[in-house]
Amino acid sequence: MNDEIAAPATDRIAIPPETLKMTARDVDVFYGAKQAIEKVSIDIGMDHVTAFIGPSGCGKSTFLRTLNRMNDTIPIARVTGQIELDGENIYDASMDVVQLRARVGMVFQKPNPFPKSIFENVAYGPRIHGLSTSKAELEEIVEKSLVRAGLWDEVKDRLTESGTALSGGQQQRLCIARAIAVDPEVILMDEPCSALDPIATAKIEELIHELRGRYAIVIVTHNMQQAARVSQRTAFFHLGTLVEYGETSDLFTNPQKERTKDYITGRYG
């Protein structure tokens, strides 16, 4: 297996500089003394959906959280290496976490709407960041975001109802609307469908298609079919390392590494 790790995992992907959004180089993440991520280097392009796959506990979610510094909220977590957003190191002292997270939005595994009305949920981000100057503008942002998240038609008559009263799938789309209301450049999705039923999942996947191109989207999933359906590029993580990164169709049909092959053929997972 040694030869696999030695080879740079990003070999098979060439992202043209003009669509390059985020780059990570030699990223290590430690939880206390335990190393959770080891030497991960990856490029993320603007016009694609990138999927992170791998068995549970492989570090794919941990790595995702380093991309908008959500690991900062865990006191014992420590990140080394370099992660750049448009050429700026996001772990630099001059990088403002508040701006970073506004630019790199996130959708979580379990839908987590705030216990407020649907309108207030979506308006939350624009309000705290001061993105609107008038009530009308705010309403426009909320409507736009809900439309883009494909939720508008379902909730337009009950915007004042609590966000927690929606069904699971609707809640997750509300969370996506909430994320896109601040106009991020990148959206990170951490297993967004794992708590949903198949119909709701299909709706979210369709939504990811719609959003593609407008935002750089990174999705973590343990479901290989989902990765194959929604992504153009796939990165396979195993035991805290990035094993293989390639065009999705390529990676699934013609894996280069033994471990990738074992995983996608179901030898473990």
Partner 1 sequence: MNAAQFPAREPTDWTTDAMQRRIRARYRAEKRFRIYGLFAVLLSAGFLAFLLITMLSSGARGFTQTEIALPVDFAASDIFLEPAQLEGGDRDQLLAGADFQGLAEQTAIDAYGEDGTMLISNGAWLRLREAVADDPELLRREERIWVQASTEVDFAARGADGLHMTDERRAMIDRYAQLEADGNVRRGLSWTFLSSADSSDPTLVGIWGAFKGSLLTMIVTIALAFPVGVLAAVYLEEYAPKNRWTDLIEVSINNLAAVPSIIFGLLGLAVFINTFHLPRSAAIVGGLTLALMTMPVIVIAGRNAIKTVPPSIRDAALGVGASPVQVLTHHVLPLSLPGILTGTIIGMSRALGETAPLLLIGMRAFVPSPPSGFTDAATVLPVQIFLWSDELDPGFVEKTSAAIIVLLVFLLAMNGIAIWLRNKYEQRW
Partner 2 sequence: MSLFSLFFLILGLAAIGWITARMRAMRMRPAAPAPRPHSLPGYHGWYVALWLAIPALAFLVLWSILMPGLVEQWVLASPAAQALPAADIQRTAILSEAHALADGSLSAAFNEEARALVPAFQEANSFYGTIGIVATLLLAFAGGGFAFLRVRPDFRARNRVEKLVMWVLLLASLIAILTTVGIVASLLFETIVFFDRISITEFLFGTHWNPQSATAGGDEGSFGAIPLFWGTILIGAIIAMIVAIPLGLMSAVYLTQYARPRVRSIMKPVLEILAGVPTVVYGYFAALTVAPAVRDFAVNILGVSSASSESAIAAGVVMGVMIIPFVSSMADDSLAAVPGAMRDGSLAMGATSSETIKRVLIPAALPGIVGGVLLAVSRAIGETMIVVMAAGLAANLTANPFESVTTVTVQIVQLLTGDQEFNSSKTLAAFALGLVLFIVTLLLNIIALSVVKRFREAYE
What is the binding site for partner 1 (CB under 8 A)? 96, 98-99, 102-103, 128-131, 144, 147-148, 150, 182-183, 185, 206-207, 210-211, 214
CB-side exposure of 191: number of CA atoms within 13 Å?
A: 18
Residues in region 7-66 near partner 2 by CB under 8 A: none
Interface segment toward partner 2; rule CB under 8 A; list 8-16, 165-173, 175-183, 225-233 = 175-183
Position among 50, 61, 62, 68 found at the interface with partner 2 (CB under 8 A)? 68
Which tokens sit at 268?
């473990």
Helix residue ranges per DSSP H, the chain: 2-6, 60-66, 97-103, 118-129, 135-148, 152-155, 168-180, 198-211, 224-230, 248-253, 258-264
Q: Which of 212, 205, 210 is nearest to 229 (CA)?
A: 205
Interface segment toward partner 2; rule CB under 8 A; list 125-133, 213-221, 226-234, 251-259 = 125-133
Please say which residue, 92 or 96, places its beta carbon nearer to partner 1: 96
Query: By the 8 A CB rule, do 48 and 11 touch?
Result: no
Q: In what order do the strands lie in the sheet with 49-53?
A: 104-107, 186-190, 216-220, 49-53, 233-238, 241-247
CB of 183 to partner 1, least distance (A): 5
Contact partner at residue 101 from partner 1, partner 2, none, CB < 5 to 8 Å by partner kind = partner 2
Which tokens sit at 265?
């053929």
Query: By the 8 A CB rule, do 234 and 217 touch?
Result: no
Contact partner at residue 147 from partner 2, partner 1, none, CB < 5 to 8 Å by partner kind = partner 1
Map residue 78 onto helix, strand or coil.
Answer: strand
CB of 61 to partner 2, least distance (A): 12
Position among 33, 93, 98, 199 found at the interface with partner 2 (CB under 8 A)? 98
Position among 19, 80, 99, 254 found at the interface with partner 2 (CB under 8 A)? 99
Q: Which residues bind partner 2 (CB under 8 A)?
A: 68, 70, 73, 75, 97-102, 105-106, 108, 110, 112-116, 124-125, 128-129, 175, 178-179, 182
